[in-house]
Structure 1
Amino acid sequence: MKTNLKFTAMIAFMFATVVGLAKEPKLSLLTEGQSKSLIVELDSENSKTLLKIIDENQNIIFSEKISASTYTKKFDLNELENGSYYIRLDDSLRTLIYPISVENKEVKILKRIENTKPVFRKKGSMLFLNLLNLDGTDVKIKVLDGNNRTLFSEVIENESIVTKAFNFETAHEDRYTVVVKDGENTYYENIVVN
């Protein structure tokens, strides 16, 4: 019965993730004669997306919070110096990074990098964690109390779907932080017990 329930939960998580990722941002490049333009089109179910353009020194050139489900913006790149830049789109489920190269009058999108984020769901005194870990990297999970003491620690190896449930029903009044480290990315979720 437990195996059946766990299998059903994993299938539901995968389905929800696939549906959530079905409408993804589109990035198209337009060059007309001597002008360099980049058009970002966003068509997403997520209503909160953060768009950034970052240079190779990690300086933010442009930043905008997008709350509409459809978004289109044209960027004039004529004033950019030659070099490497990044278009970064962050929403609640993932981070998309598009490295671009600007050389003379030519702009190229080099590749697409996608990092899925863990999904946290609170229900009463329970906190549920789901993470799609397709590259199979080790996932480190910790629970810290308000004084930064580690109450729980686990490393999950070679799992493509990481699911975990935390029960705070008998926990003392405090602010707890669940830390999930997936490769180079670290995510935090806070829960307050009153």
Structure 2
Amino acid sequence: MMKTINKITLVVLMLSTTLSYAGKKEKDNAKAFAKSILVEFVNAKKGQKLLVKNEHGLILHSETLKNSGDLSKAFNLNQLEDGKYTIELEKDYEIIIKPVEIKNNILTFLQNKEIKIFKPLVRHNKNKLLISQLSLSSVPVKVEIFYEDELIYSETINDEKTINRVYKLQNEQFGNYHAIVKSDNRSYIEYFKL
């Protein structure tokens, strides 16, 4: 009789352990599903970058696209804590930013906050440096020009949606230059020689 009671107790314990494990696994799967997202971008091109960043701008994932066309990419963000993140497609002249938020283990795609940032176009021709940028939000744009790593010119441009600047460099100063354009909390660097 005692052996029968022990066997029944053992079966009940094993069954309750199995059921609690199955419930935990189901919960974990629900979390994994809640933190997955399908992101789509139109007209993506081979060589462009796809990034996932946290709210401080730290890159958590980066990949270079291997194909051109419309892009659908599933992201499993299981390892991420609650907070705000962005999924970005960095194209030649623009960056498309799709913000997401994880709160209480639920991932929400913030469609109404999707933005597009236009990157500056920096070109040089002989001793002239041309900088153009479209800024839909009229954010300040800072331009810094360096000769042999020494700052030779700096300007902050405010309240302009379209920036077109031509900077004339001294003809006799041959060597290495670079220009840094800062806007939208981002920096763009162009290296060139004269």
Q: Which string of whole-angstrom CA distances, capped at 9 and with x for unpartnered residues, describes residues 43-92 of structure 1?
A: 32654321122345655442211142223222234554444332122222
**CA RMSD, aligned part only?**
2.9
Is the deviation greater in 117-126 or in 128-137? 117-126
Structure 1: tracts of 5 or more residues without a match: 1-32
Runs of 4+ in 1 over 6 A off after TM superposition: none
Aligned partner of 2:174 in structure 1 is 173
Amino acid at match of 1:188: I
Residues 48-63 of structure 1 mapped to structure 2, 5 A cutoff: 48-56=47-55, 60-63=59-62
What is the CA–CA distance in structure 2 between the aligned matches of 1:157 and 1:56, rounded to whole Å?
25
Give the alignment's TM-score, normalised by structure 1: 0.66
Q: How many residues align?
A: 160
- Give the number of the structure whose alpha-carbon radius of gyration is greater: 2
Q: Which string of whole-angstrom CA distances, capped at 9 and with x for unpartnered residues, describes residues 132-165 of structure 1?
A: 1222233332321004131x33333322111112
Aligned partner of 1:162 in structure 2 is 163
Aligned partner of 1:23 in structure 2 is none
Identity of aligned residues (%): 26
| Matched-pair contact (CA < 8 Å) for 1:100–1:109 | yes
1:191 matches 2:187 = no
| Matched-pair contact (CA < 8 Å) for 2:117–2:135 | no
| Matched-pair contact (CA < 8 Å) for 2:144–2:151 | no
What is the CA–CA distance in structure 2 between the aligned matches of 1:184 and 1:141, rounded to whole Å?
13
Q: Which string of whole-angstrom CA distances, capped at 9 and with x for unpartnered residues, describes residues 92-133 of structure 1?
A: 222333221224563211222332210123445543211112
What is the CA–CA distance in structure 2 between the aligned matches of 1:156 and 1:78, rounded to whole Å?
41
Match 1:131 to one of 130, 133, 145: 133
Q: 1:52 to 1:153 in 2, by over 3 A?
A: closer
Is the deviation greater in 47-56 or in 108-117? 47-56
| Matched-pair contact (CA < 8 Å) for 1:52–1:62 | yes
Higher normalized helix content (fraction of residues)? 2
| Matched-pair contact (CA < 8 Å) for 2:130–2:165 | yes
Structure 2: tracts of 5 or more residues without a match: 1-28
Residues 1-194 of structure 1 mapped to structure 2, 5 A cutoff: 34=30, 35-36=33-34, 37-44=36-43, 46-56=45-55, 60-70=59-69, 71-78=71-78, 80-104=80-104, 106-110=106-110, 111-150=113-152, 152-168=153-169, 170-182=171-183, 184-193=185-194
Amino acid at match of 1:106: I
SS of the counterpart of 2:150?
A: coil
| Matched-pair contact (CA < 8 Å) for 1:121–1:128 | yes
